[in-house]
């Protein structure tokens, strides 16, 4: 095993099992064992996990091959958690998927609550929020009287099922007996002094909680606080006592692997969707260009002579009113138009009322926010490019706890956005069009309304006409946004799909949008919404709209209606 020295001078042992592709950067999976155990107890897990993850197994201080502290040295929970964080530093690992069995899970929970940026996901096996509500304190005099092996042999049915392999039972007892009983007593008494069941909602990362159905260390009720977690999945191993990681290693490792694949393969899938759409767009570009070349000889000379070359128009030579393209806006909804504002013309569009309601089920807090007047000022610079300036003039935010007391109130100007859009084709006709729109968010928001940092987004709206007057916009997007702790940047990946059709003449259009948002910081959670809307073209240069974003996931706001206006001059 490898070793490293902690900041208080203790030598800790750890093992690395990594059979991932050597040219790829593999995610780290950290396994933390139970009290009286060691990293060797995860032997049956490793083959299931080491092909996809860099598997790291730590011997906690005083356990296994790690150094035993001097008897007079103080042992604290913070020191044990710091050992785990310092191992990640030693490995050059910013964050890891953390798996904890019993006491190892206590350290994983504390790491997720006190250093959330270090925990990508948390998997807990037979691990409650502390050991206070259990009989653990009564173990110490028994260990002193019978020795470690004798105590565990006498209580083995509290830990392993009756049909456990006798070879496993013997090995389990022999391995536990290698630990120093004096230190184990101090370690168990420390864990038995803690109960953080009232704080577990501070765990924000995706969490898997696996419960022994025949729990003998404490009670099944001790797992109930985890029901308040924002993002958790639960499994129960019916009929199994406490040490499920030892009794069913294959099942446990498979459940962890499936959990991680299910929760963290989505982002890769979303990127695949984005690349598929971009590939489709590229194919459409080529097909469009080819069709234009094929049709060129068939155009008669008189039509060619009457077609106006709009490339001559710019900011200082505006497009004549009679040659303006049909009115097209970046609303309603989250998808954008792939068309730009005509050269030399202004367009103003935005919400004049926007309300957001969100109810977090884990702690009962409620968020209400509204915006009054947030115009997007657009200026056509050339026939294919525009400038955009977004000004959120008035915003109000209130967060209330489950008791109804306000924990945050803020109001004022929001963050200023500046950007632009370019059109690659389809600006002035055709069944397909493609654009790109980018924004930089400048931190100008009033205190409590922003994160005081620049952020960046880039979208690629592609629109195609469908039969029966339907139109489809597919829009992959990427962003560089602040993480949940506002300590650094993380990628953000979106896929927006909007299907719309006129329903009353050509002036009233209905749309249904699906917006998928996959933050790179998994503590934020996936934010998916479904967004119905209506728009009314009052005049050729004036549009009114109404819509609502409806949250499909916990991390998305529950309900976000809005009313907007757009006009061109």
Is the pTM of the predicted complex or chain greater than 0.75?
no
> How far apart, in Å, do the first and last CA atoms of the chain sit?
72
Answer with the residue of higher pLDDT: 298 or 316. 316
CATH of the structural domain 2-264, one choice from 3.30.360.10, 3.40.605.10, 2.60.40.10, 3.40.50.1820: 3.40.50.1820
Flag whether pLDDT at 362 surpasses 60: no
Give the whole-angstrom CA distance, residue 5 versus residue 146.
33
pLDDT of residue 194: 92
Q: Tell me the mean pLDDT in the region 517-539.
A: 91
pLDDT of residue 536: 96
- What phi and psi, each to the nearest 5 degrees, are found at residue 404? 95, -5
Q: Tell me the mean pLDDT in the region 324-351.
A: 96
Give the whole-angstrom CA distance, residue 84 versus residue 251.
25
Q: Tell me the mean pLDDT in the region 68-95.
A: 95
The single-letter DSSP state of residue 314 is B
Assigned fold of 311-568:
Porin (2.40.160)
What is the Cα 469 distance to its own chain's centre? 37
Write out pLDDT tens, residues 155-182: 999 899 999 999 999 999 999 999 999 9
560 Cβ contact partners less than 8 Å away, ≥ 6 residues apart: 354, 355, 356, 357, 529, 548, 549, 550, 551
pLDDT of residue 471: 96
Per this entry, what is the length of the chain? 569
Indicate the pLDDT class of residue 302, thresholds 50, 70 and 90: very low
Query: Where do the domains of the chain lie?
Result: 2-264, 311-568
CA distances (Å), origin 271, targets 76, 83, 274, 277, 526: 43, 36, 5, 10, 14
- What phi and psi, each to the nearest 5 degrees, are found at residue 371? -130, 135
Flag whether pLDDT at 50 surpasses 70: yes
Flag whether pLDDT at 412 surpasses 50: yes
pLDDT of residue 306: 53
What is the Cα 26 distance to its own chain's centre? 19
For tokens 């309900």, name the residue. Answer: 559
Identify the bridge partners of residue 2 per DSSP, sorted by sequence position: 14
Cβ–Cβ under 8 Å, residues 81 and 110: yes
- Structure tokens belonging to residue 353: 């009322």
| Fold equal for 2-264 and 311-568 | no
Q: What is the mean pLDDT of the chain?
A: 89
pLDDT of residue 300: 43
Write out pLDDT tens, residues 112-150: 999 999 999 999 999 999 888 787 788 888 988 888 899
pLDDT of residue 144: 87
Write out pLDDT tens, residues 533-560: 999 999 999 999 999 999 998 889 999 9
Write out pLDDT tens, residues 466-513: 999 999 999 999 999 998 777 788 899 999 999 999 999 999 999 999
Answer with the residue of higher pLDDT: 323 or 362. 323
pLDDT of residue 402: 56
379 Cβ contact partners less than 8 Å away, ≥ 6 residues apart: 315, 341, 345, 346, 347, 386, 387
Indicate the pLDDT class of residue 407, thresholds 50, 70 and 90: low
Q: Tell me the mean pLDDT in the region 226-248.
A: 93
DSSP 248-266: -HHHHHHHHHHHHHHHHSH
């Amino acid at each position: 095993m490898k070793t490293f020295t902690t900041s208080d001078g203790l030598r800790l042992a750890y093992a690395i099992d990594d059979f991932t592709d050597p040219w790829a950067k593999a995610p780290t999976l950290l396994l933390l064992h139970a009290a009286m155990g060691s990293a060797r107890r995860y032997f049956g897990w490793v083959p299931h996990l080491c092909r996809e993850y860099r598997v790291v197994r730590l011997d906690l201080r005083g356990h296994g091959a790690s150094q035993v502290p001097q008897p007079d040295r103080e042992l604290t929970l913070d020191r044990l958690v710091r050992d785990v964080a310092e191992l990640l530093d030693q490995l050059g690992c910013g964050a890891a998927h953390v798996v904890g069995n019993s006491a190892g899970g206590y350290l994983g929970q504390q790491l997720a609550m006190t250093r959330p940026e270090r925990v990508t996901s948390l998997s807990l096996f037979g691990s409650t929020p502390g050991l206070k509500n259990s009989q653990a304190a009564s173990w110490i005099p028994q260990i002193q009287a019978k020795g470690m092996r004798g105590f565990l042999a006498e209580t083995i049915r509290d830990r392993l099922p009756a049909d456990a392999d006798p070879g496993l039972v013997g090995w389990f007892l022999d391995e536990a007996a290698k630990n120093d009983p004096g230190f184990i007593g101090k370690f168990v008494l420390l864990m038995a002094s803690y109960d953080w069941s009232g704080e577990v909602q501070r765990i924000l990362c995706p969490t898997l909680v696996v419960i022994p159905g025949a729990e003998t260390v404490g009670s099944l009720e001790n797992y109930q606080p985890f029901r308040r977690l924002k993002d958790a999945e639960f499994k129960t191993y019916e009929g199994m006592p406490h040490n499920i990681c030892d009794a069913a290693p294959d099942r446990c490792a498979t459940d962890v692997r499936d959990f991680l694949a299910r929760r963290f393969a989505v982002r890769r899938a979303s990127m695949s969707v984005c690349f598929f759409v971009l590939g489709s767009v590229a194919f459409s570009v080529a097909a469009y260009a080819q069709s234009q070349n094929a049709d060129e000889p068939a155009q008669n000379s008189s039509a060619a002579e009457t077609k106006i070359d709009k490339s001559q128009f710019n900011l200082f030579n505006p497009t004549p009113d009679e040659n303006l393209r049909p009115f097209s806006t970046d609303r309603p909804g989250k998808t954008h138009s792939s068309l730009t504002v005509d050269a030399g013309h202004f367009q103003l569009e935005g919400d004049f009322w926007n309300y957001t309601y969100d109810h977090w089920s884990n702690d009962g807090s409620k968020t209400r926010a509204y915006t009054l007047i947030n115009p997007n000022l657009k200026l056509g610079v050339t026939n294919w490019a525009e400038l955009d300036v977004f000004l959120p003039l008035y915003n109000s935010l209130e967060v209330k706890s489950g008791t109804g007391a306000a924990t945050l109130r803020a109001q004022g100007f929001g963050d200023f956005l500046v950007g632009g859009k370019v059109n690659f084709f389809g600006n002035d006709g055709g069944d397909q069009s493609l654009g790109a729109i980018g924004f930089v968010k400048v931190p100008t928001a009033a205190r409590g309304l922003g994160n005081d940092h620049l952020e960046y987004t880039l979208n690629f709206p592609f629109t195609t006409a469908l039969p029966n007057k339907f139109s489809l916009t597919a829009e992959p997007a990427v962003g560089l946004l602040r993480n949940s702790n506002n300590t650094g940047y993380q990628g953000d990946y979106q896929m927006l799909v909007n299907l719309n059709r006129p329903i009353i003449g050509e002036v009233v259009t209905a749309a249904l949008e699906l917006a998928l948002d996959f933050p790179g910081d998994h503590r934020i959670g996936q934010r998916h919404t479904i967004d119905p809307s209506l728009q009314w073209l009052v005049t050729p240069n004036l549009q009114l709209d109404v819509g609502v974003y409806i949250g499909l996931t916990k991390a998305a706001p529950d309900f976000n209606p809005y009313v907007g206006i757009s006009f061109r001059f």
